Chain A
């Protein structure tokens, strides 16, 4: 079957760095997306990885290892507005996004 595994909840301090890990099992693989979802709102696109390695986008970076079925999202210089759920979503062989429940990130002052 297809499966996404992320921590349910994480807590970090404003100004710090946090890494949100994701392991996945899919039928085929066509890239992996990270989305941010604030409570009560729709997801917004953060990053995309299709090849192994690190993609950096400002304060956010995402890493992918296809052989390990593993990705992480790294958030630097955390701000209070970063409090949200972070969704790891790989695409399977049919280009369908597979969604997990995401990681709820709580930022404390």
Chain B
């Protein structure tokens, strides 16, 4: 069965430090991969997505993610974190013919000044 794993439940970084959030998926083929961000009390906003082509994709708010087929991973990175990046981040996989999403459990990011 398809699944998405985000190994880190909570991550705390200092403002200005670099960030990497991990995501691994289990799927029979190359899936469509997404990163969403959820600010407190808000809905989900798309940061970036990948389904083909260049394995390094750029998103909004200075985020990027790299698809590694050999590791079944799609890790999210940001070179310098801002306090406003504190939120919960979800990795998701789209499968099947109806664009359904399977989400990871999420990683909650805290940013220290």
A and B found bound together: no
Interface residues of A (CB under 8 A from B): none
Interface residues of B (CB under 8 A from A): none
